[in-house]
Chain A
């Protein structure tokens, strides 16, 4: 028996500053859809061996990541990418996955289920299994109508759209409910500043890719994708190019949200960097030049560079530490412990 969570939709609220969101007209946010989606998200019957659910790689306590460099599903084979954190997807309505291969959340939600290395489930078989469960039959009838793949996708999408992280220390700061420490405030200011040596303006250049409030990538066409200098020309992975075919998109990956980033190590699309300190070291002096390296990274430096070969922020240790302190303010303890996002099959 699963447990119905506290009303999610009835108590819905979202920060205005996160911006407009658009919900598919054929899949409005409803309480029944959310509850069904939550149940499906945690149900191992969605996998071929009935042992892995979406939540196996998206653990609430880890902001819906899994703590691994690269995810491992039913096949035991490491996937090419790490599990992405799931939060505030309501504001990211297309180009899902690290390489943007899914145009919508609904389309995205069915792909891991069918991937042989992830959940390895046949959709027709899944529909048969769920339809045979009287409780699910009622759930689907309340939320949509029939038990079918389309409605599975819709319900999962509704649950994921409702994963709204909006109560971190940063959010409370934005609402005026608290004051950041001096170190956090320095980090915040560096986070939102693009360095300009000419006017002695120091910056961490973060907001050029990670929007100020949602901290995810901008979504104007493919602006939310970036080559952040992890690999040289010869080692560039396809990234977004695998989707668009555009050689200019080689090595570009989705800019992830930094919400709850302190909980989602290791970092980058393949989890190659174990800590936030390592991430800062990368941007500070470890950026590797390639033909598609993001120009916003190329030009961002806190010291005058004349030889044109060295790329990095050149932040001092205090500044790097401050940015990390600010990143910790993005941890939303309420989000990662919110009962309505938790496993409904677990007894409390």
Chain B
């Protein structure tokens, strides 16, 4: 059972919003240009999931926060909606292509939810509701991806706990309009037989054409099991067809725990030879798996970034814009950057952005003066600290929870401001997303 779901963690990715981003950004520009006297810049507003900390007597919530260090309201919560009476917080926010806001969740009672965003008569955005979605028993939602298969649109969600059990894990296939479950993709290791492809603790997700990749990360209780592979799913049949091990070094003695994956493909890099990149949370590595589009075969995986050699650990997210790919490393808390055009090779495009311990999710936006910024959420798990007698603490993770968002000049990496949510609000921060998405282009 997932009795330990409360201690589960997640590391995940972000969604691509395509035309939605463009439309919303333009919409912002449109409205922002409207009234110089009283206009409010919203592109520097973030939606964040805040975790109430049991020793500090605070509640889980979703909040809208000003992230521009040039703003007099920097770090202020502009709107906050307390999570309904559900033990575990929501987990990760995603915008659908239609502009609907979703969140995965850690609590089995609400592993997937749609978030209501509205505006009051002053124009102020408000979080209006959290509607839990029926997952048909799938638990511990992680990443969401919208993808079309054979002309039909789907919403895919990885559930690291799946429908339960020691080797659980599923990919929920949802109708993107009605949020109804269309299919649950499962392939338990204990049931498929030796050497057969399986799905276990899926977390990262990415797709190209009719091939989808999911990672096998870690059991939600962080104790029962740890994965070391990725699984290929044939989207024509919604079936697992191949499992590929990505494991070499074991710097902390655990299996590699692949976490985020991204299918490098032509709509990310024109003319690219497709390949899959995989971050291994406990292997501290980034792997590349070549893909032959002609016969739909995957080649031998290889390490393209070695964290042990480079002094980094716990690589987590892939983010990107028109020119660069960014990878966050929770230890020591940095974001490395690479030339997008050179993918799937990782060719550095500049110095690391030095954030804080637990560097994880990020958003991209501009400051009031037009400076290009990145805000980095520095928290791996937000599970508190044993030194505070916090019952949710897990020792090996306590050192990767800065409970902060650091805001940096995107070009130079200079830290322009820090919001420590624990100090300021007695809460942890589980996730950050731009109010209008993050201005970010590539992910899944």
Residues of A whose CB lies within 8 Å of any CB of B are 9, 12-25, 28-29, 91-94, 173-176, 178-179, 192-193, 199, 207, 211-214, 218-221, 224
Question: Contact partner of A173 among B28, B42, B177, CB < 8 A?
Answer: B177
Q: Is B39 an interface residue (CB 8 A)?
A: yes
In whole Å, how far is A183's beta carbon from the nearest beta carbon of chain B? 14
Can you list 22 A-B pairs with a CB-CB distance of less than 8 A?
Answer: A9-B121, A12-B121, A14-B119, A15-B119, A19-B28, A19-B42, A20-B27, A20-B39, A20-B40, A22-B34, A22-B35, A23-B35, A23-B122, A23-B123, A93-B31, A174-B98, A175-B100, A212-B22, A213-B23, A218-B30, A219-B30, A220-B30
Structural contact, A211 and B177, CB atoms closer than 8 A: no
Structural contact, A218 and B123, CB atoms closer than 8 A: no
Structural contact, A13 and B34, CB atoms closer than 8 A: no
Chain B residues numbered 1-56 whose CB sits less than 8 Å from any CB in chain A: 19-20, 22-24, 26-35, 37-40, 42
Q: Which of A24, A212, A221 has the most CB of B within 10 A?
A: A212
What chain B residues lie within 8 Å of A220 (beta carbons)? 26, 29-30, 33
Question: Contact partner of A20 among B26, B42, B118, CB < 8 A?
Answer: B42
Q: How far is the CA of A28 from the CA of B98 in the complex (A)?
A: 30
Q: Write the chain A residue with the least CB distance to B97.
A: A192
In whole Å, how far is B248's beta carbon from the nearest beta carbon of chain A? 37
What chain B residues lie within 8 Å of A174 (beta carbons)? 98-100
A-B contact count (CB 8 A): 120
Write out, one digit per residue, whether chain B residues 51-77 have a CB within 8 A of any chain A CB (1) or not (0): 000000000000000000000000000
Q: How far is the CA of A220 from the CA of B25 in the complex (A)?
A: 11
Q: How far is the CA of A24 from the CA of B20 in the complex (A)?
A: 28
Structural contact, A176 and B100, CB atoms closer than 8 A: yes
Structural contact, A21 and B177, CB atoms closer than 8 A: no
Task: Given A176-B177, A179-B177, A207-B19, decide whether A14 and B30 contact each other with a Cβ distance below 8 A.
Answer: no
Structural contact, A24 and B99, CB atoms closer than 8 A: no
What chain A residues lie within 8 Å of B26 (beta carbons)? 211, 218, 220
Task: Given A174-B100, A176-B177, decide whether A22 and B29 contact each other with a Cβ distance below 8 A.
Answer: no
What chain A residues lie within 8 Å of B366 (beta carbons)? none
The size class of the interface chain B forms with chain A is 35 or more
Q: How far is the CA of A91 from the CA of B39 in the complex (A)?
A: 12
Structural contact, A212 and B19, CB atoms closer than 8 A: yes
Task: Given A93-B34, A219-B34, decide whether A19 and B100 contact each other with a Cβ distance below 8 A.
Answer: no
Q: How far is the CA of A18 from the CA of B29 in the complex (A)?
A: 12
Q: How far is the CA of A340 from the CA of B38 in the complex (A)?
A: 28
What chain A residues lie within 8 Å of B125 (beta carbons)? 16, 20
Question: Contact partner of B31 among A9, A15, A21, A221, CB < 8 A?
Answer: A21
Q: Is B308 an interface residue (CB 8 A)?
A: no
Structural contact, A21 and B123, CB atoms closer than 8 A: yes
In whole Å, how far is B438's beta carbon from the nearest beta carbon of chain A? 16
Question: Contact partner of B118 among A13, A173, A179, CB < 8 A?
Answer: A13
Write out, one digit per residue, whether chain B residues 129-143 have a CB within 8 A of any chain A CB (1) or not (0): 000000000000000
What chain A residues lie within 8 Å of B30 (beta carbons)? 19, 91-92, 211, 218-220, 224
In whole Å, how far is A180's beta carbon from the nearest beta carbon of chain B? 9
Q: Is B117 an interface residue (CB 8 A)?
A: yes
In whole Å, how far is A134's beta carbon from the nearest beta carbon of chain B? 29
Q: How far is the CA of A283 from the CA of B436 in the complex (A)?
A: 31
The 6 closest A-B pairs by CB, nearest first: A212-B23, A19-B27, A93-B34, A219-B30, A16-B117, A22-B35
Q: Write the chain B residue with the least CB distance to A182.
A: B151
